[in-house]
Amino acid sequence: MSKKFPIISVVGSSGAGTSTVKGTFEQIFRREGVTAVSIEGDAFHRFNRVDMRAQLQARADAGNHTFSHFSYEANELGELER
């Protein structure tokens, strides 16, 4: 990241207000004449809601209690890099 091209990341669980924060940043950027790009992280989830519930249960049954929506394995981070 640089001063010329800063990166702002807003993360949170469903319903935490991330869309509201994104909207606030967009208003500030418009007011200040900042040209910004926004990438929706939700578009990079590996599983839909039904499949994610099944994955959470299967992994918990296998003893993996750290798997979550924020886990590397639950997201297509390689796609995000492109």
What is the residue extent of each domain of the chain? 1-38, 43-82
What Rg value do the Cα atoms of the chain yield, rounded?
16
CA distance 43 to 40: 6
What does the pLDDT profile of the chain (82 residues) look like in tens digits? 678 888 898 888 778 898 899 999 999 999 999 999 988 777 788 999 999 999 999 999 999 999 998 899 999 888 877 7
73: nearest Cα among 40, 47, 53:
47
Kindly report the pTM of this predicted structure. Answer: 0.58
